[in-house]
Chains A and B, each alone.
Chain A
Amino acid sequence: MSSKRSPTPELQLSQTSLQDALRRALRDEGGRAAVRVSPGMRPEAQRLVFALLREAVDVKGGSLVEIAPQDWLLTELPNFEAGRLLALLGQILGEAAVQLLPLPSSKLMLITLLNAARLPQFLEVPPAKPASPLGLDARLDRLNLAQIFRRHSIVGITDSRLPKLVFQRLGLDHTALIRHLGRLSEDRAFLRHAQSVLQKRVLEALGDEGTRKSLMGGGRIAPLLLDLPRELLPEMPDAVEDEADPDAGPGLYATLALQDAISIGNLAARRKALRQGAWGIAVAGLSASALSLIEPEALPADWLLLDWSPALEDSQVLKALRRIDEARLILDGCDGEAALSWGLGQGIHLYGGPLVEDIITATRMDHCSKAVRCLRSECRARGLATAPSERLGCTNTLLLEAVLPEGQA
């Protein structure tokens, strides 16, 4: 090895072949650059970026190194190719995800980076193996609805006053479903299939008074948002009569995912007809990305459920939102104060999500005479539970059933 005096520290990696590859890249020869990219969490993006990096390496040399998960390095390319690759990756992932490191001037920075990394290694992204559908039905049959569904609440919050219960929602716990399906959940098609099978089972359970009470924790007290796949949306009643009482809202809202809602070509007519059968329509899944693609104001729905994320503050998204009457909006997935203060700033007054469940638990415990015996986490879990066994331990079942104390209503 060269013993040339240099102010730069030595590269010290445990894997010899990697050490050699990097030494080669860090030689003192100009006209080259390394490309650093963070492909993000999605496996699709990782496979795509890997394929593009590989293509460049196969033609022009260099090595692919994983400095850390989602922090990848192509060690060297001639300047021209490096610039082209950087531009391409920037277009796909966004400028913030890519970095050009001219060589050899970035040598010190790279050595420091690699020496500090816990376990740098050659990058390898194996192609996805499609999961087999075998076993899917059996797994779904074994699944108990109470393991997967939660009794969520949508509350009304206006200015500083305490929350009021407005809607209940029997929601699917995605994390629990993914855990239960294991590898099968890697295919989005199986996840969607599982969802629609389970939603159908919940619907059947709600039709029976006994199972309904066990799911809902007693009698129903608020209009229900019920997630439905499009094939379960009731058909048009035979005759569509004149308008119902315009002030009276339905007691049950078929809550459709955005893609299901747009797949129903006559949704506006269906909505009008279903109104006679006491059904309303809500559309869920309006994320910041979705809002950047659609004209949400044209959705024929009573309620639109926004998925909270800080990306909602994007100016394009705000422009789309401004065209919707904010009285139709529910801000779902609120996970912190930032969500609430953003929503209040937009004139939204209906909220759901983990933060809302926290607020509900706190309010309930404040009013509960038996609260000293319980942990907040227990009270929260019992409120979300959809089976009597999971509510055991609560000695103030009336309050638990009511979600929030009547003093707030």
Chain B
Amino acid sequence: MNGSAQKSAALPAEALGAVALSNAIRDAVAMGEERLVLMLRFSALPRARRFGSRADLLREAWEPLNSTARVRGFKLPGGDLVAIGLPNASEALEHQQRVLFSMLEAEEAEKAVHMLRLPQQAAAVMAAVEDSLGMVAAMQAMALEEPEERAVDAAALASAERGLMTADLSIFFRRQKICWLEPGGQNTRLFWEDRRTELAEICERLLPGADITLTPAFSHRLLKSIDRRQLSDIARPEELRDMRQIALPLCVESLFSPEFLRLDAIMPQSQRHKLIIGLDSEDVLADPDLFLLARNFVQARGYRLMLEAASPFAATILSSQRAGFDYLRLKWSEDFPAADSPATAELCKKLSLNAEQIVLAGADRPAAIAWGWEAGIRLFQGRLIESQRPAA
């Protein structure tokens, strides 16, 4: 492995610093020994002081303490600096405190520079260590209060599932064309038909006023039920008789459902390549072992697989090629990098797929198609494509 010899001793220093400091404090307190503790809290300083050259100056000023006799220095996560000294090192520590005060405004120094005594002030020192471990800042960043009343609970899910069993879902099944589209408009032709439902639309009807996206696991459960309905639908003889090439998004688990196994049993071998099964990138990685099993099964049977990547980022992490997919589907959004940007070039390089292997969905606006063409994509799906008249 590259360079393992040099790196093997490199444990994360600031993590060890926090552990060592809290142990040193505990020991001093347990033994009832006196210690002086000087702290420089970067987190208590205004932003301008915390970063860049002004922060560097403070750190440089601190440096002599690290080589002072009878003083032990610690660096904590977040950058706070702490020194613990024996009582006879008090002169050096007090000198340092004065230096720091002279570098800061009086008000800043009051907040950020502290001299504490152990064992009397152990609690304050420990609180500062905890602070440096990010708990307070982290909790402030959290903002946990969310629209609680709109989340779906188990009882609501159960009733939605009952509703799903009897509801006429056909009005929610959307069919869209996936077309080959070249700049200049030649050779436009229909490749497949995409069939999917929008969970949001179904939930509007089954769970009015609730937001299913707050409970992703419940969304997944509903999707599985919808899959089973879709699969039963496709397994009807009149559907199978003259089946066109269709792309159908499914949950990985749905490939083991009785409905899929039944469809598989009645679908003639010669027809199976017409079914392109779309699997979502998150769903694939939620249980990679199950995905591998499903992939081996459906490919051995002759179906084709399409990776539906949640974003360009997801497509670069989960490589459709390595994972054995025949196609990749990206859904264009405003968040995509600009068409002629280095980020797009980098993305195309990473994906390294042929134009026949990649579908750009969400082609509702010319910008999407422009992006796709720039990226070498020729297969499109979206509202703009619906109005295209394929030559064939």
Contacts and interface: CB of A to CB of B under 8 A. Distances in A.
Interface of A: 42, 44-45, 47-48, 51, 55, 88, 91-93, 127, 132-137, 156, 158-159, 164-167, 187-193, 196, 200, 203-204, 206-207, 212, 219-224, 229-232, 234-235, 237, 241-245, 247-252, 257-268, 274, 277-279, 287, 289-290, 292-296, 298-299, 322, 325-327, 346-347, 349-350, 398, 401-402, 406, 409
A219 B135 CA distance: 11
Contacts of A250: 77-78, 134
B208 to A, nearest CB: 18
Interface stretch (B23-31, B101-109, B195-203): B23-31
Interface string B287-323: 1111111001101110000000011111011110011
Contacts of B301: 88
A307 B350 CA distance: 26
User: Which of A229, A244, A274: most chain B Cβ within 10 A?
Assistant: A244
B186 interface: no
User: Which of A278, A279, A322: most chain B Cβ within 10 A?
Assistant: A278
Interface in B1-43: 1-5, 7-16, 18-20, 22-24, 26-27, 30, 42-43
A231 B7 contact: no
A265 B335 contact: yes
A123 to B, nearest CB: 16
Given A295-B316, A349-B11, A92 B144 contact: no
24 contacts: A51-B265, A134-B154, A136-B154, A156-B11, A158-B8, A196-B215, A196-B217, A207-B135, A237-B141, A241-B51, A245-B79, A247-B75, A248-B79, A251-B133, A251-B138, A259-B285, A265-B313, A279-B141, A293-B284, A294-B323, A349-B10, A350-B11, A406-B23, A406-B26
Contacts of B392: none
Interface in B93-134: 126, 129-130, 132-134
A249 B14 contact: yes
Contacts of A279: 134, 138, 141
Interface in B239-290: 253, 256, 258, 261, 264-265, 281-290
Nearest to A196: B217
B290 to A, nearest CB: 6
Contact of A92 (B77, B130, B293): B293
Contacts of A401: 26
B22 A221 contact: yes
A232 to B, nearest CB: 7
B335 A206 contact: no
Contacts of A406: 20, 23-24, 26-27
Contacts, number: 297
A289 B289 contact: yes
A390 B220 CA distance: 36
B19 A165 contact: yes
Contact of B323 (A241, A293, A299, A409): A293
B256 A267 contact: no
Contacts of B319: 293-295
A278 B78 contact: yes
B281 A278 contact: no
A409 B79 CA distance: 20
B288 A293 contact: yes
A322 B2 CA distance: 8
Nearest to A47: B256
A37 to B, nearest CB: 14
A248 B59 CA distance: 12
Contacts of A196: 215-217
B142 interface: yes
Nearest to A279: B138
A278 B214 contact: no
A402 B317 contact: no
B161 interface: yes
Contacts of B366: none
A161 B20 CA distance: 17
A347 B4 contact: yes
A347 B218 CA distance: 41
Contact of A190 (B5, B217, B316): B217
A182 to B, nearest CB: 14
B141 A91 contact: no
Interface of B: 1-5, 7-16, 18-20, 22-24, 26-27, 30, 42-43, 47, 50-52, 55, 59, 75-79, 126, 129-130, 132-135, 137-144, 153-155, 157-158, 161, 214-218, 220-221, 224, 253, 256, 258, 261, 264-265, 281-293, 296-297, 299-301, 310-314, 316-319, 322-323, 335, 350
A398 B26 contact: yes
A146 to B, nearest CB: 19
B154 A92 contact: no
Nearest to B140: A277
A251 B313 contact: no
Contact of B23 (A191, A221, A261): A221
Contact of B297 (A48, A346, A402): A48
B218 A193 contact: yes
A296 B161 CA distance: 37
Contacts of A296: 317
A11 B31 CA distance: 77
A247 B79 contact: yes
Nearest to B324: A293
A234 B11 contact: no
Nearest to A318: B1
Contacts of B1: 322, 326, 346-347
Nearest to A300: B313
B78 A347 contact: no
Please give me the 5 A-B residue pairs with the lowest Cβ-Cβ distance, nearest first.
Answer: A347-B4, A251-B134, A278-B134, A251-B133, A265-B311
Given A193-B218, A259-B285, A347 B7 contact: yes
A259 B133 contact: no
A166 B12 contact: yes
B293 A48 contact: yes
Given A92-B300, A221-B22, A263 B314 contact: yes
User: Which of B55, B139, B292, B301: most chain A Cβ within 10 A?
Assistant: B139
Contacts of A136: 154
A245 B55 contact: yes
Contacts of A298: 316-317, 350
B318 A251 contact: no
Contact of B11 (A158, A191, A200): A158
B298 to A, nearest CB: 10
User: Which of B52, B258, B286: most chain A Cβ within 10 A?
Assistant: B286
B232 to A, nearest CB: 14
B80 to A, nearest CB: 8
B100 to A, nearest CB: 16
User: Which of A133, A242, A252: most chain B Cβ within 10 A?
Assistant: A133
A252 B138 contact: yes
A266 B310 CA distance: 11
A220 B133 contact: yes
Contacts of B154: 133-137
B19 A221 contact: yes
A170 B50 CA distance: 30
A251 B137 CA distance: 10
A192 B285 CA distance: 14
Contacts of A287: 288-289
